[in-house]
Amino acid sequence: MKRLPSVSLSVALTVLLAAGCAAGGQGNTETAQSGADDASSVVIAMGPTSEPEAGFDPAYGWGAGEHVHEPLIQSTLTVTNPDLTIGYDLATDYSASEDGLTWTVTIRDDVKFTDGEPLTAEDVAFTYNTVKESSSVNDFTMLDYAQAADDTTVLFHMTRAFSIWPYTMAIVGIIPEHAYDSATYGSNPIGSGRYMLRQWDRGQQVILEANPDYYGEAPKMQQVTILFMEEDAAFLAAQAGEVDLAYTSATYSDQAIDGYSLAAYDSVDNRGFNLPAVEEGTDDAGRTAGNDLTADVRVRRAVNIGIDRQEMIDNVLNGYGSPAYSICDRLPWYNEASEVEYDPEGAAALLDEAGWLLNEDNVREKDGVPAKLNLLYATGDSVRQALAADFADQLGELGISCTVEGVGWDTAYDRALSDPLIWGWGAHTPMELYNIYHTADGSGSARYSPYSNAAVDAYMDQALACSDLEESYELWQESQWDGQTGVTQGGDIPWVWLVNIDHLYWVRDGLQVAEQKIHPHGHGWSVVNNVDQWSWS
Amino acid sequence: MKNGNRRRNAAVFLICAAVILLAVTASGILLEEAAVETDFAEKNLPPSNRALFGTDWMGRDMFARTLAGLSLSIRIGVLTAVVSGIAALLLGIAAATLGRKVDAVISWCIDLVMGIPHILLVMLVSIACGRGFAGVVAGVALSHWPSLARVIRGEVIQLRQAPYILTADKLGVSRLKIVRRHMLPHIMPQFLIGMVLLFPHAILHEAGVTFLGFGLSSEQPAIGVILSESMGYLTTGKWWLALFPGAALVLVVLLFSVAGEYIRRLADPASAHE
């Protein structure tokens, strides 16, 4: 009698296990069939977190935020080119005033929303003023207000100079002033982009249909169906031939699916550890901040060159990745001085020099204190966990003994102030450098990990105040390394970057996926940035 | 004659079960380091002589992980069962001996806790206590006492009317002394059996809540962690990640459960006729 509940619980556990495996099998059969035989439609499997919770409303994060991508349904003023420089979508020209406080953008006059109304500068101004009011995922504090000068000219009045404004313009989809209701727009969006939303079944799928009146080149793919499913379900869906392109990860890369090939796209979706650059103490908010071991710049430099990144890629990512040396590898504002060679002897010498000497247990010690680090990773992310474990093994060889601990994001930010945490970054804007390395207002330290360098701050401030985008790239590069100081090996190295994770997809044979830009962080919508140019052969 | 054999069989089984469980617990403690050691050169190996239960995606030995996980589960099970059991004993006796008001309050608490689904309560308490070891122990301990408390309360209420208790009362023996000298020895068998039967519940709930991500931290080699990690790899055919730890968990739970039944037979022979 007493055994019954325990037996039923174990049955429940088993059922849970089984349910997880089966979850994806239930996809929508209607869409599944239309997949391969129709030459102008494509079915794509993305992760469940890619589904926009608030719908397709740019004011509530569609296209923007942590995982940037092109909004597809809406047009943007600018776009990022394949090399991540700036190109035009709606805009025909833009310029900033000498003081950087006013941006003037002229737009095309031949664009119509899908309800037939023309898109004017009024709509653009309305969009930006709305987004500034309501966006919770993006920072729009640099914008004072937007104003339409005439039908095709928009003025952006800034609160401070912001040279990389064109990168912000690349992620804000333009919404129609005459048809915008914040309560319904998310599920019933009207835009002027390449696609229109035909159907959205929450928790299951989104169907996009080509916009017949699109002002640019007509989309080759007339219908794009996106299914949201877990990774194992996506794998099974590809195995069953139900999808044309399915996201996957290194875990599945040793598998093979008949009729599909594995495509790997370069990304700047990096993983790296913050190394608190000050000694342990308490910050203004009463949190423990700083780490006595990583406070020494020589230790941080030793860690940076003492890590065999390629081994990590082979071990954890099955070879699907590239070494990361900065938060922005291969982007226009990347400074190649960030790159370092793997040099374990050099690392050992640096640690010796810093006074951390090997004892008989092969652990380094200084004044009787052993060199120890507690490495944190976000619970539930097996790749980060494995990277952290590999990092710990490699540091162990250098004589730094490491423990690895899983933490939830509710506590991770605070914990990372004193213990290295494995992070994932990588965005299509230099602003990320600023967020990571620039001293935060009023605190005397950068936001995510204790660090501050006035020279680095100054370069970034200059870069933002600069009136020319090209020129600002150089300043961003100098903020990383100017020959004297910076955040690279020769400088303060307050973060150590490990790998850029290739984004992997199962692609049905015959599907020609157009050339991809370097993918940003987030394994979601960026793959369909140019789905309009995909084709079947 | 037949009865004698059964008692002896029960005793033999109990000793075997205890030895197995102790061995698992001890070897798990010894293997704790091996259970978290990664070796990327040996990842995703199927079961073989080299790695009896195979290895996972970080090259960790699943045999060591399974034993370490079971050991952790058993230790948590023992700890929570003891805490729960003692709480049940104290509350059960208090309800039955300290008058109507106390009884009403305690009975109400029992109903309240029993009214909430176990796993939900464990999750809530665990989250409130910050997850991890402390969270799980608090969650499981605070949710498993009511049924045993209710049994003990019933026993004690019955016992209160027993002639020898009434006599002791009339002779002026203090309440505390009556409980200690006359009641506790009487309910000890039920209490012990109840506590042993709490183990399987406690272990499964610990594994369950950890599996769901509200329990032990993911770097610990707990069975719940192992099973939830295995989920991502089942579709690629790595069955050994779930099968061995899962089967081992079921075996341990069964062992405890059957052992509880046998203890009942030994301690309370009359129940064999039920």
In a domain, B165, yes or no: yes
Distance between CA atoms of residues B84 and B54, nearest Å: 36
Please, are residues B253 and B167 in contact by the beta-carbon 8 Å criterion? no
In a domain, A396, yes or no: yes
Interface mutation target, options A17, A249, A310, chain B, most CBs of B under 10 Å: A17
- Side-chain-side CA neighbours of residue A322 (13 Å): 17
Which residues of chain A approach chain B closer than 8 Å at the C-beta? 2-3, 5-6, 9-10, 12-14, 16-17, 20-21, 231-232, 235-236, 251-252, 254-255, 315-316, 379-380, 382, 385-386, 389-390, 393, 404-408
How close, in Å, is residue B163 to chain A by CA atoms?
31
A226-A214-A126 Cα angle (round to 5): 90
Clarify whether residues A453 and A387 are in a common domain: yes
Distance between CA atoms of residues A189 and B69, nearest Å: 51
Report the CATH number that the domain containing residue A257 is assigned in CATH.
Answer: 3.40.190.10
Report the CATH number that the domain containing residue B163 is assigned in CATH.
Answer: 1.10.3720.10
- Side-chain-side CA neighbours of residue B48 (13 Å): 7
In a domain, A487, yes or no: yes
Distance between CA atoms of residues A167 and A84, nearest Å: 9
Clarify whether residues A458 and A340 are in a common domain: yes
In a domain, A5, yes or no: no
Residue range B188-242, pLDDT digits in tens: 888 988 888 888 889 999 999 999 988 898 888 999 999 999 988 888 889 999 9
Secondary structure (3-state) at B26? helix
Clarify whether residues A139 and A247 are in a common domain: no
In chain B, residues with a C-beta closer than 8 Å to the C-beta of A252 are 235-236
Q: What is the pLDDT of residue A22?
A: 43
Q: Do B231 and A12 touch (CB under 8 A)?
A: no
Q: How many A-B residue pairs are in contact by the CB < 8 A criterion?
A: 88
Specify the residue for token string 């968990």: B249
Q: Do A386 and B58 touch (CB under 8 A)?
A: yes
Specify the residue for token string 């009896």: B52
The token pair that represents A355 in the structure block = 């006074």
In a domain, B53, yes or no: no
A69: amino acid identity, one letter: H
Clarify whether residues A380 and A493 are in a common domain: yes
Q: What is the pLDDT of residue B112?
A: 93
Burial B243-252 (b: 16+ CB within 10 A, else e): bbbbebbbeb
Clarify whether residues A415 and A285 are in a common domain: yes
Residue range A80-122, pLDDT digits in tens: 998 899 999 999 999 999 888 999 999 999 999 999 999 999 9
Nearest by CB to A3, from B57, B213, B257: name it.
B257
The token pair that represents A89 in the structure block = 């979508």
Q: Do A232 and B118 touch (CB under 8 A)?
A: no
Contacts of residue A146, defined as CB under 8 A and 6 or more positions apart, other chains included, come to: A124, A125, A127, A128, A129, A132, A154, A155, A156, A157
How close, in Å, is residue B255 to chain A by CA atoms?
11
Q: Do B204 and A408 touch (CB under 8 A)?
A: no
Clarify whether residues A232 and A90 are in a common domain: no
Interface mutation target, options B235, B255, B256, chain A, most CBs of A under 10 Å: B235
In chain A, residues with a C-beta closer than 8 Å to the C-beta of B65 are none
Please, are residues A279 and A297 in contact by the beta-carbon 8 Å criterion? no
In chain A, residues with a C-beta closer than 8 Å to the C-beta of B36 are 404
Classify the complex by whether its ipTM is higher than 0.85, answering yes or no. Answer: no
The sign one gets for the Cα dihedral A30, A36, A40, A41 is: positive
- Side-chain-side CA neighbours of residue A482 (13 Å): 16
Nearest by CB to A380, from B218, B227, B246: name it.
B218
Q: Do A408 and B131 touch (CB under 8 A)?
A: yes
Domain of B261 in residue numbering reads as 2-36+58-273
Number of structural domains in chain B: 1
The token pair that represents A394 in the structure block = 């490699």
In a domain, A520, yes or no: yes
Q: What is the pLDDT of residue A245?
A: 96
Q: Do B38 and A251 touch (CB under 8 A)?
A: no
Clarify whether residues A158 and A113 are in a common domain: yes
Answer whether residue B187 shows pLDDT above 70. yes
Among residues of chain B, what percentage have pLDDT more than 90? 50
In a domain, B16, yes or no: yes
Spatial CA neighbour of A227 closest among A34, A59, A8, A370: A34
Clarify whether residues A239 and A300 are in a common domain: no
Q: Do A251 and B236 touch (CB under 8 A)?
A: yes
Q: Do A21 and B119 touch (CB under 8 A)?
A: no
- Ranges under pLDDT 50 in chain A: 1-4, 15-37
In a domain, A90, yes or no: yes
Distance between CA atoms of residues A254 and A449, nearest Å: 36
Kindly report the pTM of this predicted structure.
Answer: 0.86
Distance between CA atoms of residues B31 and B66, nearest Å: 10
How far CA A156 is from CA of A67, A331, A447, B176, in Å, comes to: 25, 26, 28, 82
Clarify whether residues A421 and A347 are in a common domain: yes
A410: amino acid identity, one letter: D
The token pair that represents A308 in the structure block = 């065999």
Residue of A nearest to B148 (CA): A2
In a domain, A188, yes or no: no
In chain A, residues with a C-beta closer than 8 Å to the C-beta of B235 are 21, 232, 235-236, 252
- Domain end (from A181, A214, A243): A181
Clarify whether residues A247 and A170 are in a common domain: no
How close, in Å, is residue B164 to chain A by CA atoms?
32
DSSP-derived letter for residue B67 is H
In a domain, B45, yes or no: no
Residue of A nearest to B258 (CA): A3
In a domain, B145, yes or no: yes
Report the CATH number that the domain containing residue A454 is assigned in CATH.
Answer: 3.10.105.10
Clarify whether residues A250 and A129 are in a common domain: no
Longest dimension (CA), chain B: 77
H helices within A246-369, ranges in order?
297-305, 309-316, 344-353
Spatial CA neighbour of A70 closest among A536, A474, A517: A517
How close, in Å, is residue A28 to chain B by CA atoms?
20
Distance between CA atoms of residues B189 and B267, nearest Å: 6
In a domain, A462, yes or no: yes
In a domain, B51, yes or no: no
Domain of A128 in residue numbering reads as 71-181
Distance between CA atoms of residues B39 and B45, nearest Å: 11
Nearest by CB to B213, from A380, A382, A407: name it.
A380
Residue of A nearest to B250 (CA): A10
A203: left (phi over 0), alpha (psi -120 to 50) or beta: left
Q: Do A405 and B205 touch (CB under 8 A)?
A: no
Label residue B227 exposed, middle or buried (CB < 10 Å: 0-12, 13-18, 19+): buried
In a domain, A63, yes or no: no
Q: Do B233 and A235 touch (CB under 8 A)?
A: no
Report the CATH number that the domain containing residue A135 is assigned in CATH.
Answer: 3.90.76.10
How close, in Å, is residue A468 to chain B by CA atoms?
48
Nearest by CB to A236, from B131, B211, B235: name it.
B235
Number of structural domains in chain A: 3
In chain B, residues with a C-beta closer than 8 Å to the C-beta of A236 are 235
Nearest by CB to A379, from B118, B119, B217: name it.
B217
Clarify whether residues A506 and A491 are in a common domain: no
Nearest by CB to B200, from A6, A315, A408: name it.
A6
Label residue A338 exposed, middle or buried (CB < 10 Å: 0-12, 13-18, 19+): buried
Distance between CA atoms of residues B246 and A5, nearest Å: 17
How far CA A239 is from CA of A252, A507, B214, in Å, comes to: 12, 11, 33
